[in-house]
Amino acid sequence: MQFSAVQIALLINGKVEGNAEITVSTFGKIEDANVGELAFLANPKYEDYLYHTHASIIIINETLELKHPISATLIRVPDAYTAFAELLDKYQQIRNQQLTGIQQPAYVDATAKIGNQVYIGAFAYIGEKVIIADGVKIFPSAYIGNNVVLGENSIIYPGVKIYHHCIIGKNVVIHAGSVIGGDGFGFAPQPDGTFIKVPQIGNVIIEDNVEIGSNATIDRATIGSTLIKAGAKLDNLLQIAHNVEIGNNTIIAAQAGISGSTKIGNNVMIGGQVGIVGHLQIADGSKINAQSGVSKSIKKANTAVTGSPAYDYTASLRSQAMVRCLPEMEKRIQQLEKLVKELLISNTKKD
């Protein structure tokens, strides 16, 4: 597919500087892009490449002042990074629209309801009474269990498993290998040291515009629903336990684990390898640094914490600074102790 500079500018509400009819057919990094490719510049560290790149079209911030003349056509926008992301999203949507129909072999139960412009890849399994809305793309080897609902334009990548009765909203993206709705980790200890499994009869609800990375696991609720609210973005290799709630537009980085029944607020940012124990409340806007262990609720909005156990981020930095000073402080204390001892001996002799 080829697009001209003027077509791209219309897609991202940009202004063209240069040849508006020049076309590109693919994307490239600004440092090594070739003729016929589109690049972008958002980070000032890469500005020098702007004057040497072979890219045909470059998206830049509207405030950038050129230091040297360039040969490429420019598209100026308020935020080059955001505009480039929007353009890639539109490009991917165009490619996905070309995917339609049911490949064979695939199993689609006779009771399933399939919308328009749906794609179901080979070796996919679609269970009883599944509802698949318009524009959904289900890639090969995906499993969609009985009574699952998939909202409009959602994308289910290869090998995703969605267990029975789970509900997926509109424009949700679930990447390869993720498991939605597996049993929560519920076992009742017995006097003899054994465990009895607690049946997990709830489901998972994922609201609109959520994206879930590869090989993430979101467990179904014991009773009720594990809930991922609209706009949340979850990275690869996450463990979200039963009855957890993740708030709107919350971001969780890779390898984090959220224990059962914890409620995470809106616009929370959770770094990689964070562990959060069960039955906690994490306030809106909280920021949890990577590898932190959260053992108590965060009740004040917009609080930043770090460490294990996690506590106030600024206080933690002060503590770290103090720890680095401990060897010098020990040396000074020893010198002071020596001086005090000498003074006591001197005063004793005078007496």
Enumerate the active-site residues: 242
Element (H, E) at 315: helix 313-350
| CA 320/CA 110 separation, integer angstroms | 63
DSSP code, position 312: E
The residue to which tokens 């958002």 are assigned: 42
AA identity, residue 56: S
Calpha distance 213→234 (Å, rounded)? 6
Residues 237-249 as b or e (16 or more Cβ within 10 Å = b): bbbbbbbbbbbbb
Cα-based distances in Å from 304 to 256, 262, 272, 284, 298: 17, 18, 15, 11, 9
Number of helices (H) and strands (E) in the chain: give both, helices first: 4, 40
Q: Which residues pair with residue 217 across a beta bridge?
A: 179, 239
Edge-to-edge strand list for the sheet holding 107-108: 107-108, 125-126, 143-144, 161-162, 179-182, 217-219, 239-240, 257-258, 275-276, 293-294
Q: Which amino acid does the sequence have at 66?
A: L
Pairing mode of beta strands 15-17, 73-77 = antiparallel
How far CA 76 is from CA of 42, 49, 182, 219, 307, in Å, comes to: 11, 17, 47, 45, 42
Residues 222, 60: Cα–Cα separation, whole Å: 50
3-state secondary structure of 160: coil
